Every structure is written in C-alpha cells, then in structure tokens.
Structure 1
C-alpha cells in the first residue's frame, strides 16, 4: 500500500491502549473507494506538545487536498491515537457536511479526557452527524501496522499491556456509554 508511515516507537508510544503520553497525538488516514475496488491515498498527521495546530486540523487540511479530485463515493478511515477533543469536533463536522460523498470512520486507541463533559458531548455530536466512531481492536492494529508500519513485528502484549501508572480502561464500554441515547441526523 505504499511506504511506511508509522515507526515502531510511534506505535508503541501513541497507540497503546493503556498508556497516556502527554502532548502527542497521531492520526493515520486512508482513503478508499466505497466498493473497495480502489485505494486512493494515505498519510500521517502528528501533533507534538508545543504545536498550536491539533493533529485533526492538519489531517483535515491534508484530506481537503487529497479529496479535491475524488468525485466517487469514498470512505476516509482515521486511525487515531485519541478520539477528537471538543475543539476539533466543529472542524470535523464542517468537513463531513462539505463532502457528502465521503463516509468518515474514526478508529481510536483511547478516548481523549473521557471524563470531561465537553469531550463526551463532542463525541455524541460526531455520532449524530453520521461519523462512525469505534475503538480500535486487535484486527485494526494489525491492519494499521502491516499496511503502514516499518515491518518490525508487533504483538498483542505491546498494544494491550497495562501501564504501571495508568491501569486499564475498557474503552469500548466507555464509548458505548458516551454514545448511548445519541440520535443520528439523516442528511446523507
């Protein structure tokens, strides 16, 4: 599918389920035809502690460029180290509304500050605008790594190993609780 976008240290630092790196965020995007007959593009957006622009903003800018020549219905999949924060939700909603031919899927390793009410509400808003929100499972990590990684082998233990300071959070259950009762808008 192309050259390596992810390096082992990035995967280990940014996509582990039970580790909370401060100040970094990573998004790998993939654009495919809805009938899976064609693979268009992929790319990487990283945010470090001292950058002003969030990784989501950089990623949306790159997607705008990539999608300018794609007229067929397509799916954009974002493999994210964190779900979007409440500040990035309006940017994503604007993108979804301007690109009616795009189905947006977000597969995240963790939920960003999941106890903050504004972040919880932001995820519900994304859900109402037909953004598919899911937590990454092992198959998603495997696909991400072997499609965009640097060819070192990975293991479930690397991804799911509890961090000594952070314990374990069941992100799938937490996302289900957050989205419970949310209603989808019908505009597509």
Structure 2
C-alpha cells in the first residue's frame, strides 16, 4: 500500500472544509479509478442544532478509514449517549465485511446515533463477506447509497476548499456509466443475487475495465426494484439489446440529494 500522506497530499482542515488541490479530490473519489487509499469525509450534527462538525479520515497501514473514524474521531459520542446524533459518511470505497460488522456493533451500542453512508466504489464486491456486510448494514437501518452526481457536487462544494459561485458548473463532472454500474451491482448485493459487474485492470496501464453482464436470474428482481416508486435507492431504467445477455442503461436518474433529515 502506498503511503497515505503521499496520496492525500496536503490535506488540512480549514474552517470546516478540507483544503486540497482539486485533482487530489478527483483522484481519490473518481469512480472510474482504483486508488489504493480510502478516504472518508463526514458530517456530525448534534440534537436539533443546525450546525455541522465536518472532518475527514483516511485509512492507515494498520486500520481502515472506518475504524479510524469510529475509534479516534467519535470519542465525543461515547460521552454524550443521551443526545441524538446524525452522521453522514462519504466513503471513496465501501466498507469491508469486518468494518460493516463493527459499524453495526457501534450503532447498537449508541441507539441515539443515525448514520447515512454514500459510497464512491464497491470494495472487492465479489467477496461474499463484503456483500453480506453491506446487507447487514442496510438491515440494521443504515441508509446506504452509491454516490450520484448530487452527492459528488455536495462533497465538492462542502469539503473541497475552493471558491465557486452557486451558478458555477460543477467539476469534476464524472461520467455516469461507472456510477450506474456500481448502482446495479449494489442492487444485486441487496437482492442476494450473483455479481453482475466484472472489473479487471489492464496490464499495460493499470486502468480498470468495467463489464456489466446480467444473467436471467438478475433481470426480474432488478427490474422490479429499480422501478419501485418508493425505493430508497437510486432509480435507473434499462433496455435490453436485441443481441444478447448484456443490458445497457438508456436513461439515468441522478439519485437522491444528500439528506440531512433523519
């Protein structure tokens, strides 16, 4: 694993934001890339206050970012067990199975805490331990979303220290296909279906290649879940191509905005 500080660059907390070069944020959260670090941005809101405490937490050579956050950054929660606390995480990689179990244990020990998680990529999504961990998170009441354009926009304007007007064009403008691939795979995970997303790295460049293959067992459940009006997850519409087993997205709904109301 590369040194975390080398990958994160000169990240510092400044007036509630993360001060960094835009290219560093893009490198860490770009859904089409495979960085070797995990980066966690988070917000905490206590009780009925309208103010947020914002911070960031990376992984280290010995601990995943989620564990560092729970063990080191959330100490104040242990001392205020009777106060309601709303937490939003923005993770560049989804939690592994072990981290999911520890998150569930933390929430059970702190019933006044509610947690939302926005995920940039799925970490080792074909590993059944990680798939079950994500299902356990959702079953325990955690709202888990694949990051969509509104979530990236919110992170960009909230955590990255650069001056933009409200009418500025958002950058980085990530292409939607990678988000759609991860959204589809996340639906397969929640439905208990086999993986539909294949990812491999090109030998000569190290760049990831994505391939989406839907088996017959995927289609009915995916179609139903992705078209349910009251779904808590992002909505997608797909059309079958006449030639084969591949389905391709024809329309993209960008997903829910970041929700601070619990």
Provide TM-score, normalisation by structure 2. Answer: 0.59
Number of residue equivalences: 173
Provide TM-score, normalisation by structure 1. Answer: 0.80
Aligned Cα RMSD in Å?
A: 2.6
What does residue 57 of structure 2 align with?
A: 45
Match of 1:80 among 42, 66, 91: 91
Q: CA deviation at 1:168?
A: 7.5
Q: Per-residue CA shift, 1:100-135, capped at 9, x if unaligned?
A: 011111101111111111111111111111111101
Match of 1:19 among 24, 33, 37: 33
Q: Distance in 2 between matches of 1:6 and 1:17?
A: 21
Q: Per-residue CA shift, 1:121-153, capped at 9, x if unaligned?
A: 111111111111101111111111111112166
**Larger Rg: 1 or 2?**
2
Say whether the 8 Å CA contact 1:138–1:156 is kept in structure 2.
no
Q: Distance in 2 between matches of 1:123 and 1:6?
A: 31
Relative to structure 1, is the Cα distance of residues 59 and 10 closer, same or farther in structure 2, using a 3 angstrom cutoff?
farther
Stretch deviating more after TM superposition (93-102 or 26-35): 26-35
Say whether the 8 Å CA contact 1:106–1:131 is kept in structure 2.
yes
Q: CA deviation at 1:63?
A: 4.2
Q: Distance in 2 between matches of 1:19 and 1:107?
A: 17
What does residue 252 of structure 2 align with?
A: none
Say whether the 8 Å CA contact 2:18–2:160 is kept in structure 1.
yes
Q: CA deviation at 1:76?
A: 0.6
Choose between structure 1 and 2 for higher RCO, CA contacts under 8 A separated by at least 6 residues: 1
What does residue 184 of structure 1 align with?
A: none
What does residue 126 of structure 1 align with?
A: 137
Q: Distance in 2 between matches of 1:84 and 1:34?
A: 27
For structure 2, which runs of at least 5 residues remain unmatched after alignment?
Answer: 1-13, 165-169, 193-262
Instruction: Classify the secondary structure of the residue corresponding to 1:113.
Output: coil
Say whether the 8 Å CA contact 1:6–1:150 is kept in structure 2.
yes
**Is 1:62 aligned with 2:72?**
yes
Say whether the 8 Å CA contact 1:5–1:150 is kept in structure 2.
yes
Instruction: Classify the secondary structure of the residue corresponding to 1:175.
Output: helix
For structure 1, which runs of at least 5 residues remain unmatched after alignment?
Answer: 182-188
